[in-house]
Amino acid sequence: MGDLRSVFVDSMTGAPSALEAADRLCRACVDVLGVDGASISLTDGFTTQGTFGSSGPLSRRLDEYQFTFGEGPCLDAMRSGLPVLAADLAASAEARWPAFRDAVLSAGINAVFALPVGERGHPFGALDLFNKQRGSLSDSELDGGLLAAELAAVPLLEMMGATRELASSAEAEQGWDQLASLERVEVYQATGMIIAALNVSAEDALVRLRAYAYMRGMTANDVAWQVLDRTVDLNDEGWGGAGSAGEDDRG
> For residue range 144-194, what is the model confidence (pLDDT) as tens digits?
999 999 999 887 676 555 444 433 444 444 444 444 455 566 777 888 888
Q: How confident is the model at residue 205, as a pLDDT?
A: 85
Higher pLDDT, 248 or 95: 95
Q: Name the residue with higher pLDDT: 220 or 90.
A: 90
Contact between residue 19 and residue 50 where contact means Cβ atoms under 8 Å apart:
no
Which pLDDT does position 170 carry in this prediction?
47
Pick from 231, 226, 240: nearest CA to 189: 226
- Quote the pLDDT of residue 44: 67
Tell me what pLDDT residue 85 has.
97
pLDDT at 158: 67
Mean pLDDT along residues 117-121: 76
Q: What percent of the chain has pLDDT over 90?
A: 42
- The reported pLDDT for the residue numbered 27 is 97
- Where residue 32 falls among pLDDT bands split at 50, 70, 90? very high
Pick the CATH number of 2-166 from 3.40.50.300, 3.30.450.40, 3.30.450.30, 1.10.760.10: 3.30.450.40
Question: Which residues, including other chains, have CB under 8 Å from residue 66's CB and lie 6 or more apart?
Answer: 41, 48, 72, 73, 74, 75, 100
Nearest to 207 by CA among 68, 50, 51: 68
For residue 154, the Cα-to-chain-centroid distance in whole angstroms is 18
3-class DSSP assignment, residue 38: strand
CA gap 212, 207 in Å, rounded:
9
Q: Which pLDDT band holds residue 203 (cuts at 50, 70, 90)?
A: confident
* φ and ψ at residue 244, rounded to 5 degrees: -105, 150
Greater pLDDT, 213 or 95: 95
Q: How many CB atoms lie within 10 A of CB 191?
A: 23
Q: Does the pLDDT of residue 196 top 90, yes or no?
A: no
For residue 51, which of 125, 116, 108 has the smallest C-alpha distance? 125
Question: What's this model's pTM, rounded to 2 decimal places?
Answer: 0.74
Measure the CA–CA gap between 64 and 219, rounded to whole angstroms: 6
pLDDT of res. 167: 39
Q: Can you say whether the dihedral through the CA atoms of 178, 183, 186, 189 is positive or negative? A: negative
Domain ranges for the chain, please list them. Answer: 2-166, 185-239
For the beta carbon of residue 104, count every other beta carbon within 10 angstroms.
23
Greatest extent of the chain over all pairs of C-alpha atoms, in Å: 62
In the three-class reduction of DSSP (H, G, I as helix; E, B as strand; rest coil), residue 230 is classed as coil
What pLDDT sits at residue 176? 40
Indicate the length of the chain as a whole number.
251
Q: Looking at residue 108, what is its pLDDT? A: 96
pLDDT, position 166? 35
The confidence score (pLDDT) of residue 241 equals: 56
